[in-house]
């Protein structure tokens, strides 16, 4: 875990522990692991949180009881129609008359989207080369880790741009997709997972090039954390409860200066491992590419 910092060393992420304005935060994959930790962290801070997962019993019977003011739904992110219905439910844009869309409870804005849902089925196979991974497991990895992010991008980003143009919600708006150290370096026994996370890196950097100010898109490598997907590093510090204390304020602090940068949660990768990354930490979009596409993107959406 990171050591306590002197005041002069504090970053913009460190000072976001108690944000002055509640944000509307959307998180996929909240039934376990990192998503569950982010749901708990932001909810207890007083933010409006919408979360989804595929485990119906966990969503309805457990999480909705623990977080009664959160807007939690059963959503399959691999289904474009399911994600579209989810955003309509969040912003009350489907013409429904359900209780969550009453005028007093209308959210009507999206500030932060965290595309967190993901799987790594290769972990259960041990050291298998890519050609021995069953087709269904490879396909599921791409469907959830890549297409799931694309479906969320397709439906949430236009709304976030519209909110920004019309000055709804917070000024800084961010679309964060969970990447991985394996999205920045190869591994002979995780070819499907590597392929999915390299795709996330490319997708987020491409999205960043088309976003107007003040929006940002960030591929975030969360670290080696003890979850159902990952055993974590040696020691007891790399728990989700410790991780969210760093990642939670970090995500809240993302702004236009972070747009397109490949970032990682501080203290949850060894420097030795990070030195093997092909996409180095903090690398953004080359200046030679610029943001020439952003204005055209806004014109397509607004007109």
Which residues are part of the catalytic machinery?
193
Beta bridge partners of 146: none
Calculate the CA dihedral of residues 85, 89, 95, 101 and round it to 10 degrees: 170
- Only one residue has tokens 């439910």, namely 89
Sequence-separated (6 or more) residues with CB below 8 Å from residue 212: 161, 164, 165, 294, 295, 297, 298
For residue 69, give both structure tokens: 């003011």
Q: Indicate the helix (H) or strand (E) that contains 217.
A: strand 216-221
Residue 21: count of CB within 10 angstroms of its CB: 10
Q: What is the DSSP string of 250-299?
A: HHHT--GGGTT--EE-TTSS-HHHHTT-SS-TT----TTTTTTTHHHHHH
Q: Contact 186/279 with Cβ under 8 angstroms?
A: no
């Amino acid at each position: 875990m990171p050591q306590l910092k002197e005041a002069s060393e504090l970053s913009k992420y460190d000072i976001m522990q108690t944000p002055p304005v509640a944000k509307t935060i959307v998180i996929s994959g909240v039934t376990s692991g990192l998503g569950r930790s982010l749901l708990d962290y932001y909810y207890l801070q007083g933010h409006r949180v919408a979360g989804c997962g595929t485990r119906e019993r966990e969503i309805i019977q457990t999480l909705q009881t623990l977080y009664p003011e959160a807007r939690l739904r059963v959503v399959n992110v691999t289904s474009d129609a399911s994600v579209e219905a989810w955003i309509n439910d969040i912003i009350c844009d489907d013409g429904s008359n359900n209780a969550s869309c009453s005028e007093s409870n209308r959210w009507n804005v999206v500030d932060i989207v965290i595309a967190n849902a993901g799987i790594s089925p290769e972990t259960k196979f041990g050291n298998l080369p890519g050609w021995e991974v069953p087709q269904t497991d490879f396909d599921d990895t791409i469907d959830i880790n890549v297409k799931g992010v694309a479906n969320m991008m397709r439906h949430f980003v236009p709304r976030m741009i519209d909110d920004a143009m019309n000055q709804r919600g917070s000024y800084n708006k961010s679309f964060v997709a969970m990447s991985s150290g394996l999205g920045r370096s190869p591994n002979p026994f995780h070819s499907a997972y590597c392929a999915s996370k390299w795709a996330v890196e490319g997708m987020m950097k491409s999205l960043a090039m088309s976003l107007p100010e003040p929006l940002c898109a960030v591929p975030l490598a969360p670290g080696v954390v003890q979850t159902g997907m990952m055993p974590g590093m040696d020691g007891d510090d790399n728990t989700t409860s410790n991780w969210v204390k760093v990642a939670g304020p970090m995500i809240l602090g993302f702004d236009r200066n972070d747009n397109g940068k490949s970032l990682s949660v501080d203290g949850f990768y060894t420097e030795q491992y990070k030195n093997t990354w092909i996409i180095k930490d903090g690398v953004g979009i080359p200046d030679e590419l610029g943001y020439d596409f952003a204005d055209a993107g806004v014109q397509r959406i607004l007109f």
